[in-house]
Amino acid sequence: MRYISVAFVFIGTLMGAGFVSGREAAVFFSGTGIWGPLAAAVVSGVGAFAFMSIGPGPEVIICPYRPALPKIVIRAECLVILAATLALSETLGRNLFSLPGGAVLAAAAALAVSASGRFGYKVVTVFSTATALLIALTIALKLGTPFAASEGTFPLRPMGYAAMNILIPAMTVSRYTEGFSVRQKALASAMISFLTFGIIYLYMNVVRGAESATLPAVENAAPTGMKIPLMFVLIISAVTSGAATINTAAKSPGGRASIVIAALLMSLSGFGNIVEYVYPVTSYTALIVVFAAVYRAAARLKNSCKKEAALI
């Protein structure tokens, strides 16, 4: 059953504060209809399987001549995601308490959590993710009618978004799934695809009609009586996802402090602007890395099949 825990690592990354706010679903999936979540599910599942098949040290396999490049992409992605999380915290502080300084408080809390024990952190993450999904389901059921049909555009944005969300956990999980059988890797990948599709489809229903709002899920939560609970879940998610991002980006105290300072400066541009303009660049860069991983994994599988055939 270890493949289940691997699947939930990926889903935990997807369910960050930015996604729970509904803004990311509005930017990357609005107007894509059923094809948006389907494309994201395929990229998530295939990409995860590729990284698990490559095994430990995937950056060397993906980019043998410049193995540092994937790491640079991940650090840049961490910086952007952390900046968006802190900018969201600033918005929440002003909306919920009418006070500035939410970004600084969230940064301090995320730093503290990143340096603490992992058990409590995991418990809080599971709690906030489960609560966010229950609130989202309540909002979607209250709103009633499903989202509009697809505009007929190729779902490149959803594919990039999926790549951005699987890249960080994939690079980490690949070293722990080395002993997995092909069946276990396939089951984990299938579960990742299924959960990705279901969660994104749910949030497309949560944000419909409020896509232009800075926090679409919060906007639609107001008539259902779920606005305050959702905002508190967002605060918890901002701290836990911020801590996870800091831990991924840097290991030393100095490195963590540096990325937090850089993210605080970037967060001044605003949550909506980061998601709208910076996330697409990050997502397409991540998609290139994921495609490279799929290509390398397929090549390794082909060579392995040739070797087995030669022995027969």
pLDDT of 118 over the 70 cut: no
Domains of the chain: 2-311 (1.20.1740.10)
| Structural tokens at position 307 | 């070797």
- The single residue listed with the structure tokens 């609560």 is 131
Say how far apart CA 108 and CA 152 lie, in whole Å.
44
Model confidence pLDDT, tens digit, residues 253-276:
888 889 999 999 999 999 989 999
DSSP at 65? T
Say how far apart CA 103 and CA 270 lie, in whole Å.
11
Poorest-confidence range of 42-46, 193-197, 245-249?
A: 245-249
| Structural tokens at position 250 | 């840097």
Top-confidence residue, 13 or 29:
29
pLDDT at 30: 85
pLDDT of 44 over the 70 cut: yes
Mean residue pLDDT of the chain comes to 83
pLDDT of 122 over the 70 cut: no
Confidence of residue 79 (pLDDT cuts 50, 70, 90): very high
pLDDT at 230: 86
Model confidence pLDDT, tens digit, residues 176-225:
777 788 888 888 899 999 999 999 988 988 888 888 888 898 888 888 88
pLDDT of 285 over the 80 cut: yes
User: Could you tell me if 258 and 250 are in contact, meaning their C-beta atoms sit under 8 angstroms apart?
Assistant: yes
Confidence of residue 307 (pLDDT cuts 50, 70, 90): low
Overall average pLDDT of the 69-91 stretch: 89
Say how far apart CA 125 and CA 196 lie, in whole Å.
17
Top-confidence residue, 14 or 84:
84
Which amino acid is present at 218? V
Residues 6+ apart with CB under 8 A from 305: none
Q: What angle (nearest 5°) sits at the alpha carbon of residue 3, between those of residues 10 and 81?
A: 10
Q: Which of 264, 277, 278 is nearest to 87 (CA)?
A: 264
Q: Which of 39, 41, 291 is nearest to 153 (CA)?
A: 39
Dihedral sign from CA coordinates of 125, 129, 130, 135: positive
pLDDT of 124 over the 70 cut: no
- The single residue listed with the structure tokens 């949560």 is 206
Its pTM surpasses 0.95: no
Longest dimension (CA), the chain: 72
Overall average pLDDT of the 120-129 stretch: 64
Q: What angle (nearest 5°) sits at the alpha carbon of residue 103, between those of residues 159 and 108?
A: 105
User: Could you tell me if 33 and 218 are in contact, meaning their C-beta atoms sit under 8 angstroms apart?
Assistant: no
Overall average pLDDT of the 240-245 stretch: 84
pLDDT at 158: 93
Chain center to CA of 208: 20
Say how far apart CA 24 and CA 274 lie, in whole Å.
10
Say how far apart CA 19 and CA 4 lie, in whole Å.
22
Angle between helices 227-249 and 118-143 (to 10 degrees): 140
